[in-house]
Structure 1
Amino acid sequence: MHSHTATVSVRRARTRLASHRPTMGVRRSYTVTIRAAETIAPAERRPEHRLPMSNLDLLLPPMDVGVFFCYEKPMRSLEAMVAVLSVSLAQALSTYYPFGGEVVANSLGEPEVLCNGRGVDFAAAYADVELRELALGDPDDSVEGKLMPKKKAGVFCVQATGLKCGGLVLACKFDHRVADAYSANMFLVFWSDLATFGHGTRLPSFCRTLLSPRLPLRIHASIDRLFVPVSSLPPPPIRPPLPADLFVNRIYYITNADIVSLQSSTRGRTKVEAFTAYLWRALAKAAEAEGERWCRMGAVVDGRTRLSAAMGNYFGNVLSIPFGSMEVAELRGMGLGEVAERVRGWLRPATTEDHFRALVDWVEAHRPEPAVARIYMGEAEGGLACVVSSGRAFPVQEVEFGWGKPAFGSYHFPWGGTSGYVMPMPSARGNGDWIVYAHLRKSVVAVLEAEQPPAFRPLTPDYYLTDIN
Structure 2
Amino acid sequence: MGSCGRSYSLSVKQRDTIAAALPVQDHWLSMSNLDLLLPPLDVGVFFCYKKSPIPHEDSITTPVNLIKKSLAQALAPFYPFAGEVVQNSHGEPELLCNNRGVDFIHAQADVELKNIDLYHPDDSVERKLVTELNCGGLVIGCTFDHRIGDAYSINMFLTAWTEISRSRPISCLPSFRRSMVNPRRPPLMDTVYDSLFVPVSSLPPPRSYLPTNPLVSRIYYIQAKDIDQLQSNSSFNGNPKRSKLLSFIAFLWKIIAECDDGFETCKMGVVVDGRERLEQVNFDKLSLTNTKCFSMQNYFGNVLSIPYGEANSGELKEMALSQVAEMVYKFVSPAMTEEHFRGLIDWVELHRPEPAVAKIYTKTEETDGEAVVVSSGQRFPVESVDFGWGRPDFGSYHFPWGGQTGYVMPMPSVKKNGDWIVYMHLLEKHLDLVETKGRKVFKPLSPSYIGF
SS of residue paired to 1:355 = helix
Is 2:425 the partner of 1:439?
yes
Is 2:357 the partner of 1:389?
no
CA contact (8 A) 1:295 1:384 kept: yes
Is 2:271 the partner of 1:307?
no
| Among candidates 80, 84, 109, match of residue 66 of structure 2 | 84
| Among candidates 88, 97, 101, match of residue 119 of structure 1 | 101
SS of residue paired to 2:316 = helix
1:265 — aligned with what?
233
Q: How far apart are 1:27 and its partner, in Å?
A: 4.8
SS of residue paired to 1:359 = helix
Q: How far apart are 1:452 and its partner, in Å?
A: 5.8
CA contact (8 A) 2:203 2:364 kept: no
Q: How far apart are 1:244 and its partner, in Å?
A: 3.7
Q: How far apart are 1:386 and its partner, in Å?
A: 0.3
| Among candidates 182, 189, 193, match of residue 163 of structure 2 | 193
| Structure-2 separation of matches of 1:385 and 1:339 | 16
Q: How far apart are 1:237 and its partner, in Å?
A: 5.8
| Structure-2 separation of matches of 1:452 and 1:299 | 20
| Among candidates 235, 256, 263, match of residue 292 of structure 1 | 263
SS of residue paired to 1:398 = coil
CA contact (8 A) 1:57 1:177 kept: yes
1:16 — aligned with what?
none
Letter of the 2:232 partner, please give it: S
| Structure-2 separation of matches of 1:351 and 1:234 | 31
| Structure-1 separation of matches of 2:208 and 2:64 | 51
- Name the CA shift for 1:369/1:448 in 2 (closer, same or farther; >3 Å): same
Please give the root-mean-square deviation of Cα atoms over the aligned residues, in Å: 1.5
CA contact (8 A) 1:294 1:384 kept: yes
Give 4+ residue runs of structure 1 displaced > 6 Å after superposition: none
Identity of aligned residues (%): 54
User: What TM-score results when the alignment is normalised by the length of structure 2?
Assistant: 0.92
SS of residue paired to 2:231 = helix
Is 2:294 the partner of 1:334?
no
1:208 — aligned with what?
178
| Structure-2 separation of matches of 1:372 and 1:231 | 10
1:90-101 → structure 2 map (5 Å cutoff): 90-101=72-83
| Structure-1 separation of matches of 2:439 and 2:154 | 35
| Structure-1 separation of matches of 2:154 and 2:199 | 27
Letter of the 1:278 partner, please give it: F
Letter of the 1:83 partner, please give it: N
Letter of the 2:102 partner, please give it: V
1:45 — aligned with what?
23
SS of residue paired to 2:132 = strand
Q: Deviations over 1:190-244 (max 9, x none)?
A: 00000013432210000000010001211222111100101112455652x5234
Letter of the 2:371 partner, please give it: A
CA contact (8 A) 1:27 1:129 kept: no
Letter of the 1:76 partner, please give it: I
SS of residue paired to 2:108 = strand
- Name the CA shift for 1:55/1:389 in 2 (closer, same or farther; >3 Å): same
| Structure-2 separation of matches of 1:438 and 1:379 | 24
SS of residue paired to 2:20 = coil
| Structure-2 separation of matches of 1:345 and 1:92 | 41
Letter of the 2:389 partner, please give it: W
Q: Deviations over 1:426-450 (max 9, x none)?
A: 1111111111110111111111101
| Structure-2 separation of matches of 1:426 and 1:378 | 32
| Structure-1 separation of matches of 2:439 and 2:43 | 32
Unmatched segments (≥5 aa) in structure 2: 236-240, 281-294
Q: How far apart are 1:454 and its partner, in Å?
A: 1.3
Q: Deviations over 1:247-293 (max 9, x none)?
A: 2110111111111110011111111110110010011001xx11211
After the TM superposition, which of the residue ranges 445-454 and 110-119 deviates more from structure 2? 445-454
SS of residue paired to 1:242 = coil
| Structure-1 separation of matches of 2:242 and 2:53 | 44
CA contact (8 A) 1:281 1:331 kept: yes
| Among candidates 234, 243, 253, match of residue 212 of structure 2 | 243
Is 2:414 the partner of 1:414?
no
- Name the CA shift for 1:79/1:53 in 2 (closer, same or farther; >3 Å): same
2:133 — aligned with what?
163
| Among candidates 133, 155, 159, match of residue 115 of structure 2 | 133
SS of residue paired to 1:404 = coil
| Among candidates 346, 353, 361, match of residue 376 of structure 1 | 361
CA contact (8 A) 1:27 1:133 kept: no
| Among candidates 404, 411, 415, match of residue 429 of structure 1 | 415
| Structure-2 separation of matches of 1:399 and 1:418 | 32
Q: Kindly indicate whether structure 1 or structure 2 has the higher relative contact order, using CA contacts under 8 Å at least 6 residues apart.
A: 2
SS of residue paired to 1:277 = helix
Letter of the 2:385 partner, please give it: V
Letter of the 1:273 partner, please give it: L
CA contact (8 A) 1:262 1:271 kept: yes
SS of residue paired to 2:258 = helix
Q: How far apart are 1:414 and its partner, in Å?
A: 0.3
CA contact (8 A) 2:31 2:94 kept: yes
| Structure-2 separation of matches of 1:207 and 1:84 | 31
| Among candidates 435, 442, 446, match of residue 456 of structure 1 | 442
Q: Deviations over 1:321-372 (max 9, x none)?
A: 0000011122112111100000000000000000000000000000000001
Is 2:254 the partner of 1:281?
yes
CA contact (8 A) 2:121 2:217 kept: yes
2:331 — aligned with what?
346
User: What TM-score results when the alignment is normalised by the length of structure 1?
Assistant: 0.89
CA contact (8 A) 1:379 1:418 kept: no
SS of residue paired to 2:425 = strand
1:4 — aligned with what?
none
| Structure-2 separation of matches of 1:92 and 1:403 | 18
